[in-house]
Amino acid sequence: MLEELTYKSNISNKNYAVDLNLIKSFKDYLQDSYELCPIDSGPYAHVYEERKKIANFERRELVKIKGNGNEIVLKDGEGYITQKHRVEGGNPKEDDLYNDIRNNGYSLTYLPPVVVRMPDGYKHLGTGNGRIGSLKRLDVKDIICDVYDLSQLDENKAKYRFRKLGQVTNRPKEINTPFSMQDLASTLHEGYCLGEIEGDLTKNYDTLQENLRKELVECVGDSPMKPSHFEKIITITLDKIKQNSTDTIQPKNWSVESNRINWLKTQGYKDTKFKKYITMSAGLGAKLFIDSGKKYIEERKKLNKDGHKLVINIIIHSGMLENDKIDRQVNNRNKLYKNLVKRFEESKKVAKVYYESDSKIELSDKKIKLIGGMPCFRHNKEGNNLITVEQIKKLKTNDKKKTNAVLPI
């Protein structure tokens, strides 16, 4: 069968990759997937054995991802594409993955994405968010997935096993983005909150630590991990438990372009002929207005005589905040946004002189507007709406080492 595959015009001889610039459905490749990535033998057989300890394997099948009748739950209530086992939701390296698939094709030799049938009756995306996001951007209609079943378990047990399955699957390998310490700590914490990890902070503290370590070993398997990182994950988890912290406050991952695009859509920010919305990193500082000026000139030239009607609306974002203390994450975001708003006025003066002398195109507050920032934390009182410039100016910050930063709204 492998020899036959090498002669198909749309599969690469090198790595059996489907060229998705030409092919928009995997309907003819399900059997190829079975042979190139077998379940009971080959390099991933041990992965399937470990997954069986967590969830029942149903089958490998073609799952629709584009158009009417999508078969899997990809988004939460905010329209934010998410994988529950990742703190930041989506795959932080989706853009790199998209470029690789577009240029080199989609390999059939790797483990397929995982979808899980849950007690609510729906199939939820377990792993493969980056690949599915990339395929949607390439207008591919479907994808080959491994389907698992947790629908017969009670809700709490199913929720924890769903997250645990994601960690087992996302051990460091070629195609996936490996789990982070935050991902693993978040999964262990949820297991405790759901009553699936026994022990407490008083009489049964030793039992709690022992069970956390046991669960962590099952998640990481034989993945390379420094002992110090292992203990750090346990420490982060215990801190979450001691603080009675829950996953209701988690940073959003705005470093991935598709996440920002989805947010713009859910908030109704739609480009028109003369009004454009662009998201830009608050970390650009004074350079932000200069870069937005370049974007303004680029878009204005497309409009020819009507170019003077163009308005560019800037919405800033924080990328992906990384810190194991939520109050520091909030404080860092608040400082980042407030500093950007303050420097925006200064950068406008520099950019205005530069562009008017170089391109003879007038820039003003009416042409390029900073309208606010994207919310950074999921499922909390900050909500999912735009943080306006006026709200940003009122954000509280604390420059001391220990902070008690508060959410703005």
pLDDT at 176 over 60: no
Architecture of domain 2-155: Alpha-Beta Complex (3.90)
Higher-confidence position of 78 and 31: 31
Residue 224 to residues 168, 179, 268: CA-CA distances in angstroms? 13, 12, 44
| Contacts with 299 (C-beta within 8 Å, 6 or more apart), sequence order | 276, 310, 312
- pLDDT at residue 261 in the model: 87
Measured distance CA(194)–CA(16) in Å, rounded: 42
- pLDDT at residue 347 in the model: 65
The pair phi, psi for residue 220, each rounded to 5°, is -85, -25
pTM greater than 0.85: no
What percent of the chain has a predicted confidence (pLDDT) above 70?
75
| Contacts with 237 (C-beta within 8 Å, 6 or more apart), sequence order | 185, 188, 189, 192, 212
For the segment 211-224, what is each residue's pLDDT rounded down to a tens digit? 999 888 888 877 77
Measured distance CA(275)–CA(349) in Å, rounded: 23
| Contacts with 119 (C-beta within 8 Å, 6 or more apart), sequence order | 150, 151, 152, 153, 154, 155, 158
| Contact call for residues 114 and 126 (beta carbons, < 8 A) | yes
Instruction: Give the start-to-end residue ranges of the domains of the chain.
Output: 2-155, 180-247, 253-393
**3-class DSSP assignment, residue 306:** helix
Measured distance CA(356)–CA(376) in Å, rounded: 35
Q: Among 16-25, 174-183, 278-287, which range has the highest average pLDDT? A: 16-25
pLDDT at 389 over 70: yes
Output the average pLDDT for the chain: 78
For the segment 326-350, what is each residue's pLDDT rounded down to a tens digit? 677 788 888 999 988 888 776 666 5
